[in-house]
């Protein structure tokens, strides 16, 4: 079933919660796309959305240059739900009044109903809602009715009597609105009348069909890193075109412990994917010899990777496509009205390849959020080991050995890092952790082991929680786990006699130490 047939359009007015709306809608089984608030009517019509959600936003509709969507959407007879700024926009458009209220309303409030409506089926008087606004509706437009109020807002929810145009002052998409998901569900299923066609399985079916259609009998090249995105891309394309997919897996010498064996075992051994393994460890390590500047390390690794990848690819002859693990947040970034912000994608390994190699890009995950990629990975039969793998930087352990990289330091770091992985990444209890890893600080400090003084390296632990790596906070890991990690590293890894925990957040620090 083509889930695009019942797409929900989300117009983004700059709210920090816009992506959350999209994720909730999709969790409810409905495909949706986010676009900047000012896209034209032609574009909207071409999508034929079954409903439109206007997001919140940081601005005030009373400002002269406030973000506006095309007026035309209010005549489309498509159900609309305006959230916060969205509600105020609807109010202003239809001639109501907005009050620049002096009192900000932020946080918990209770909803009370003035009228029954399908939007609030299953929600009771007194249920908790989450407010975050300064302006508020002062007078609702003619032709509208009040559906609900809150402790502080007389117009917590309104509706146009003749059309399915709704506005809510609170944020149903945030976790704190306890029945927020039910409200969104009601909007989708009761108001927009969707069937709910979107699921990991329907995604896989459609993606396989589309890849076959697009690629035909041509060959597709894929750089496999063992990370979740490239693994899911490879497995999906393999399902679609089998041996016409050729994966190249380059060992750059700065992978994690047992990474090579694991990747080969899964992709070659279990999934029988056409895989070319290139052991370039020696080349990378000699290129990195004596290099201490992290930017130089990155450049050396990036360039060498491209060189080796190109060499390998040219050996296959008639490649037409290059598969890439672009995800939906990157797509939104690139179309967003907010302009380009620094994202982790600027680090992408294979960026720059297609131009030189004249390959067409194929990006089967460009509709998905990261958590959806993981679910699709499971649907495709990938093991938890791959599916819940944390992000790992292209330049790998080279930027986690501070200073010069050599085999001895890498070996120490690999062993220490593997212990951190055992205790955190491989522990299902810690799936909320964004990244957890070790850093080798080749500064010697004194220790005592048995009767002997030691003079050995320091290992730093970096364990952070984050949504998207743009900001991060150090994880409040239980002391027993930290204790176990420290003891294990010092006892099991020769060359380390001290373990420290990094308690800085990003910003002002970064996740990697470099």
Q: Residue with CB nearest ligand XMP?
A: 347
User: Any idea which residue has 């009370």 for tokens?
Assistant: 112
- The residue count for binding ligand XMP (CB under 6 A) is 13
Q: Which tokens belong to 205? A: 């079916």
Name the minimum Å distance from CB 511 to ligand XMP: 3
Active-site position among 6, 33, 173, 312:
173
Q: Pick one of 394, 416, 425, 477: the residue that binds ligand XMP (CB under 6 A).
A: 394
Closer residue to ligand XMP, CB minimum distance, 117 or 417: 417
333 is catalytic: no
Name the minimum Å distance from CB 317 to ligand XMP: 29
Closer residue to ligand XMP, CB minimum distance, 423 or 465: 465
- Residues between 230 and 289 that touch ligand XMP (CB under 6 A): none
| Nearest Cα to Cα of residue 156 among 213, 247, 75, 82 | 82
- Residues between 428 and 447 that touch ligand XMP (CB under 6 A): 435
Which of 61-69, 143-151, 208-216, 387-395 is the region at the interface with ligand XMP (rule: CB under 6 A)?
387-395
Instruction: Tally Cβ neighbours within 10 Å of residue 404.
Output: 14
Name the minimum Å distance from CB 349 to ligand XMP: 6
Report the SS3 class of residue 54: strand
Decide if 417 contacts 410 (C-beta within 8 A).
Answer: no
| CA–CA separation, 5 and 104 (whole Å) | 40
Residue-wise burial string across 274-302, b where 16 or more C-beta atoms lie within 10 A, e elsewhere: bbbbeebbebbbebbeebeebeebbebbb
| CA–CA separation, 65 and 514 (whole Å) | 42
By CB under 6 A, residue 393 contacts ligand XMP: yes
Which of 108-116, 170-178, 303-311, 393-401 is the region at the interface with ligand XMP (rule: CB under 6 A)?
393-401
Q: Pick one of 34, 61, 81, 511: the residue that binds ligand XMP (CB under 6 A).
A: 511
Decide if 280 contacts 252 (C-beta within 8 A).
Answer: yes
| CA–CA separation, 21 and 172 (whole Å) | 8
Residues 6+ apart with CB under 8 A from 4: 31
Q: How large is the angle between the packed helices 370-379 and 200-215, nearest 10 degrees? A: 80
Q: Pick one of 294, 354, 391, 447: the residue that binds ligand XMP (CB under 6 A).
A: 391
171 is catalytic: yes
By CB under 6 A, residue 210 contacts ligand XMP: no
State the binding string over 347-386 for ligand XMP (x if CB under 6 A, else -). x---------------------------------------
Biggest distance spanned by C-alpha atoms of the chain: 86
By CB under 6 A, residue 344 contacts ligand XMP: yes
173 is catalytic: yes
- Residues between 53 and 92 that touch ligand XMP (CB under 6 A): none
| CA–CA separation, 368 and 374 (whole Å) | 10
Decide if 182 contacts 128 (C-beta within 8 A).
Answer: no
| CA–CA separation, 336 and 341 (whole Å) | 10
- Residues between 86 and 145 that touch ligand XMP (CB under 6 A): none
Name the minimum Å distance from CB 20 to ligand XMP: 20
Q: Which tokens belong to 119? A: 């939007």
Active-site position among 6, 32, 33, 171:
171
- Residues between 462 and 481 that touch ligand XMP (CB under 6 A): 469
Active-site position among 84, 192, 222, 247:
84
Q: What's the Cα-to-Cα distance from 29 to each of 26, 35, 457, rounded to whole Å?
A: 5, 19, 51
Closer residue to ligand XMP, CB minimum distance, 123 or 332: 332
- Residues between 491 and 510 that touch ligand XMP (CB under 6 A): 506, 510
Q: Pick one of 4, 298, 320, 378: the residue that binds ligand XMP (CB under 6 A).
A: 298
By CB under 6 A, residue 291 contacts ligand XMP: no
Decide if 436 contacts 430 (C-beta within 8 A).
Answer: yes
By CB under 6 A, residue 395 contacts ligand XMP: yes
Question: How do beta strands 435-449 and 128-133 pair?
Answer: unpaired
By CB under 6 A, residue 19 contacts ligand XMP: no
| Nearest Cα to Cα of residue 84 among 155, 165, 18, 169 | 169
Closer residue to ligand XMP, CB minimum distance, 223 or 412: 223
Query: Which residues are annotated as catalytic?
Result: 84, 171, 173
Question: Site residues (CB under 6 A) for ligand XMP?
Answer: 298, 344, 347, 391, 393-395, 435, 469, 506, 510-512
């Amino acid at each position: 079933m083509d889930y695009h047939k019942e797409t929900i359009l989300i117009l983004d007015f700059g709210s920090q919660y816009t992506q959350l709306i999209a994720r909730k809608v999709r969790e409810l089984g409905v495909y949706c796309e986010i676009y900047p608030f000012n896209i034209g009517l032609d574009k909207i019509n071409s999508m034929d959305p079954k409903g439109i959600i206007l997001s919140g936003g940081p601005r005030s509709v009373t400002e002269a240059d406030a973000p506006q969507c095309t007026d035309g959407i209010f005549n489309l007879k498509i159900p609309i739900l305006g959230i916060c700024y969205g509600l105020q926009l609807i109010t202003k458009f239809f001639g109501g009044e907005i009050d620049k209220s002096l009192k900000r309303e932020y946080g918990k409030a209770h909803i009370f109903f003035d009228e029954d409506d399908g939007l609030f089926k299953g929600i009771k008087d007194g249920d908790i809602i989450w407010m975050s606004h300064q302006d508020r509706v002062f007078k609702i437009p003619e032709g509208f009715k009040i559906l609900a109020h809150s402790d502080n807002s007389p117009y917590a929810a309104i509706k146009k009597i003749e059309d399915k145009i709704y506005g809510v002052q609170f944020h149903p998409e945030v976790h704190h609105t306890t029945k927020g998901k039910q409200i969104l569900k009601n909007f989708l299923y009761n108001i927009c009348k969707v069937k709910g066609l979107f699921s990991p399985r329907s995604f896989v079916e459609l993606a396989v069909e589309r890849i076959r259609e697009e690629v035909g009998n041509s060959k597709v090249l894929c750089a496999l890193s063992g990370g979740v995105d490239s693994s899911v891309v490879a497995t999906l394309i393999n399902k679609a075109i089998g041996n016409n997919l050729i994966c190249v897996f380059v060992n750059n010498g700065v992978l994690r412990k047992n990474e090579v064996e694991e990747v080969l075992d899964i992709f070659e051994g279990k999934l029988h994917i056409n895989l070319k393994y290139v052991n370039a460890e020696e080349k990378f390590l000699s290129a990195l010899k004596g290099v201490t500047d992290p930017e130089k390390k990155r450049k050396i690794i990036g360039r060498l990777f491209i060189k080796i990848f190109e060499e390998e690819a040219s050996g296959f002859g008639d490649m037409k496509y290059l598969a890439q693990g672009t995800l939906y947040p990157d797509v939104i970034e690139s179309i967003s009205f907010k302009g380009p912000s620094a994202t982790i994608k600027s680090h992408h390994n294979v960026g720059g390849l297609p131009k030189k190699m004249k390959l067409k890009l194929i990006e089967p995950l460009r509709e998905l959020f990261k958590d959806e990629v993981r679910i699709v990975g499971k649907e495709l039969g990938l093991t938890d080991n791959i599916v819940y793998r944390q992000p790992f930087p292209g330049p790998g352990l080279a930027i986690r050995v501070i200073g010069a990289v050599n085999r001895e330091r890498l070996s120490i770091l690999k062993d220490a890092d593997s212990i951190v992985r055992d205790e955190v990444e491989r522990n299902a209890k810690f799936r909320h952790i964004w990244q957890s890893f070790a850093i080798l600080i080749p500064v010697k400090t004194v220790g005592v082991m048995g009767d002997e003084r030691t003079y050995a390296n320091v290992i730093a632990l970096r364990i952070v929680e984050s949504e998207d790596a743009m900001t991060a906070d150090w994880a409040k890991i239980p002391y027993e786990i930290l204790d176990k990690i420290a003891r294990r590293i010092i006892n099991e890894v020769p060359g380390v006699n001290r373990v420290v925990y990094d308690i800085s957040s990003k910003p002002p620090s970064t996740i990697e130490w470099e």
